Every structure is written in C-alpha cells, then in structure tokens.
Amino acid sequence: MNSRRIALLAVFAAIALAGCGSSNDNSDSTAGDPVAQKDVKVFFMEGEQFKPLDHQVDGSGSTPREATEALLDGPRKVDPAATAKGDIKTLIPPGTKVERLKVDASGDAEVNLSKEFLDDIPAKAKGRTASEDDEVTGRLGQVTYTLTSFEKVNSVKVRSGGATVQAPAPRNSGGISPSTEQDRADYSRPPKVPKPPKVKGGRGGSKPGTSSLQRKLAGYLPASGVDGVDGYQTEQAVMAFQAWEGLNRDGDAGPQTRAALKTARRPRPATKNPNRFMEVNISRGVLLLVKGGRAKRAIHVSAGAPGTETPTGRYRVFRKELMSWSVPFSTWLPFASYFNNGIAFHEYPDVPTYPASHGCVRVPTPDAKKVYRFARMNTVVVVRS
C-alpha cells in the first residue's frame, strides 16, 4: 500500500470519527459556522440605561453561552475595576444559571435559564404589575443585548424554569400580543418625541386651613404652590417636611405634623461648598437645592431600591435631556439631568415614601421642571446615605 493511499485512509477515518461524536443538550448548539468572538460586550445597568462591559476571553474566543454565563455572574466578576464604585448593577437575580442555549441557522437564539431568572414574576405578561413588567423588560434587555453583540445572533427567546418569558405588550399597542422573541429594535427609541408632562400641583379640593398650612411649608413648597388647593404638590411638600423632621411620611398634615411646623426651621445642607449645588439625602428621601449656603427648596424624592441603590458620592451634571429615552425599560424619562453615567434626576408621576428606582432619583411632577432648571450643566451633586 503506497503512502498516498495510507494518507487518504487516515483522512477518511478522521472524518468518520468526527461524525460519531455525541450531542449534549447542556452545551451550546450553533447551526452553521461558529459564532465565537474574542471581544464581547456584556450588558449591565447604570441607573435607567445600559452599561456594556468588555468580556475578556482567552484562546479562540467567547461563545454565546460563555457571554451569557458572564452576564449571570454579575458585573463585579466581569470587570472588578470598573464596578468598584458600585454604580454598575444587574437586574438579573443571583443564582440564575444557563441550562441550555441554541442558535439556529437564521440567527435566532433560544436560551433556557433556571427559574431564578423570573424570581416568582409570572412568565406571561397578563397579570403582571407595572413594576414587574419593568423588571422583566430590563432583564430581557440585558440578555438580548448581550447575545446580539454576536454578529450571527439576530433575536433572542428566553425561557425560565421551562416557561417562555413574554415581554410586556407595547404601550398603546392596540391589542398586539406580547412578544416572546426580542431584538434590539424592540428597545429602540420611537421616532416621535412626546412633549414633557405639564407641571401641575395635582388635583385636589379646597379645605379650611390649607392656605395657612402651605405658607408654613415655605422652603418645601414654592410660592406659587400657596393656592389653597390640597393637592399632590402639597402632599409631596408635607412628605418632604415629615421626612426631614423624622416623622412618619404619609403626606397628611395631622396634629403631629402641624405641631412640628410651629417650631421647624429651614433644612440645612451637610455640604458646605460650593456656593450652588444639589444635595440628595437617600434615607430621608429629600433633595435640597442649595444656593449661597442656604437651602432654597427641599423636595421629596425617591432614590434607588435595594439591589439598585443610588451610589453615594460627589458628582456633576454632565448631560440634560428634556425627554430622555431609557433603552432598557423602553420608556421616556422627562426632565432628565444626568450626574453619574446613566443615573439622573427625572420626573416620575408617583414618588413613593421609600427608595424604589433603578438607581435614578425620581422627582414629583410638580417639582420636576424646577429641578431641571436648577440642575445646570456642571452643577455639583452630592449624594448622601
């Protein structure tokens, strides 16, 4: 047998052995050419915006499964140096695991995650609360953007605990069914920018003593707010006063609150300089607008919830948008003033008495325009616990 024939037989044997390999449902399955890439972006959260981190790999590159596992490991493992300040977060619950991931020849990825991904949130959009919809939208967005950073991945379907996860139905969808496949277009900014909400004090009726109460809330309520109407703006001003004085925050000026108003003094900032700045007190839920060392206004706000806390520190306003688009949550943020990467002050229609945001500082509608105007470019922002 000559050497050429021996070489051909060796090649045929190698091909036959390659075709005898067994498949494993717990590994990546990719139709067509491999989709490994050396440089992959893994998408985490910074306030109401995405924060991509580079996923560093050795050898032949990263596969979609490896990138997804890096996402589930969290930002600190992907880039400890970039996350040292604690402002980069993830919405995906800890303990979530990749059970299976497939990418077909059309570029459609299907990733099966453990039940922890939903963390008791319903897989179907029907029956979820608005806050649960936000959580699911953000989590799906992190997975979708991470996987579609691979050139050959076009869309993503996520399953959790065996159930297909539905994205929330688009707002004003006219009866369109919630989607089970996501791509980046689903998170794109709409072409038409809406007008910012009108700044109003809110609905309410006239009550005896309301004007007197409003005058006593000087510093917590603007002069224009002394209108005798017991509405949302007055309620928020009362909440700010109650929070600063350490009273129970309910927005109702009861006997205890009215008694405290008799001896109360204007709030004093803990920060001494510069001449003009903004100071956020997270635990109290109060924002101070300071000029000349004096608090011109004290406003009730809500900062980041547990898990997406607003980082403390000293920052400066660096970007302002009258209407800012939040990609991860597919929603508009009116009167947005960014001071720490994707973290901003922005209007929110219903500001609760506890930290509830994804890292941003939520401002009541009646005060949103005032805060936006005060937050000039380069204005110092001090965030305290």
Domains of the chain and CATH, by start: 25-169+180-187 (no CATH), 205-263 (1.10.101.10), 276-384 (2.40.440.10)
Q: Is the pLDDT of residue 269 over 70?
A: yes
Q: Is the pLDDT of residue 37 over 70?
A: yes
CB 80 within 8 A of CB 68: no
Give me the residue label for tokens 């570029």. 107
Mean predicted confidence (pLDDT) in 226-246: 85
* Predicted local distance difference test score (pLDDT) of residue 338: 96
Q: For residue range 111-124, what is the model confidence (pLDDT) as tens digits? A: 999 999 999 999 99
Q: Is the pLDDT of residue 342 over 60?
A: yes
Give Rg (Cα) of the chain. Answer: 26
Q: Where are the alpha helices (DSSP H) in the chain?
A: 3-18, 64-73, 75-78, 130-147, 210-216, 232-245, 255-263, 365-374
Mean predicted confidence (pLDDT) in 186-198: 88
Mean pLDDT, all residues of the chain = 85
**Alpha carbon of residue 80 to chain centroid:** 20
Pairing mode, if any, of strands 205-206 and 229-230? Answer: antiparallel
Question: Which of the 8 DSSP states describes residue 309?
Answer: P
* Predicted local distance difference test score (pLDDT) of residue 254: 86
Q: Is 147 helix (H, G, I), strand (E, B) or coil?
A: helix
Task: Collect contacts of 276-280 with beta carbons under 8 A, ≥24 apart.
Answer: 276/379, 276/380, 277/379, 277/380, 277/381, 277/382, 278/345, 278/371, 278/374, 278/375, 278/379, 278/380, 278/381, 278/382, 279/381, 279/382, 279/384, 280/310, 280/361, 280/381, 280/382, 280/383, 280/384
Peptide bond preceding 328 in cis form (omega within 30 of 0): no
Pairing mode, if any, of strands 343-348 and 361-364? Answer: parallel
The one-letter amino acid at 158: V
Q: Is the pLDDT of residue 382 over 60?
A: yes
The one-letter amino acid at 298: A
Out of 12-26, 119-133, 232-246, 335-349, least confident range: 12-26
pLDDT band at 197 (very low <50, low <70, confident <90, very high): confident
Q: Is the pLDDT of residue 104 over 70?
A: yes
DSSP string, 66-80: HHHHHHHH-HHHH-T
* Predicted local distance difference test score (pLDDT) of residue 21: 36
Q: Is the pLDDT of residue 146 over 60?
A: yes
Q: Is the pLDDT of residue 29 over 70?
A: no
Cα–Cα–Cα angle for 177, 328, 351, nearest 5°? 95
Cα–Cα–Cα angle for 107, 118, 86, nearest 5°? 90
Copy the structure tokens of residue 301: 């706000």
- 343: how many CB neighbours lie within 10 A of its CB? 26
* Predicted local distance difference test score (pLDDT) of residue 215: 86
Out of 44-58, 75-89, 277-291, 340-354, least confident range: 75-89
Q: Is the pLDDT of residue 83 over 50?
A: yes
Out of 84-93, 111-120, 193-202, 348-357, least confident range: 193-202
Out of 3-12, 78-87, 98-107, least confident range: 3-12
* Predicted local distance difference test score (pLDDT) of residue 5: 46
Mean predicted confidence (pLDDT) in 341-368: 92
Mean predicted confidence (pLDDT) in 282-309: 92
DSSP string, 10-69: HHHHHHHHHTTPPP-TTSEEESSS---BSEEEEEEEETTEEEEEEEE--TT-B-HHHHHH
* Predicted local distance difference test score (pLDDT) of residue 110: 96
Q: Is the pLDDT of residue 35 over 70?
A: no
Q: Is the pLDDT of residue 168 over 70?
A: yes
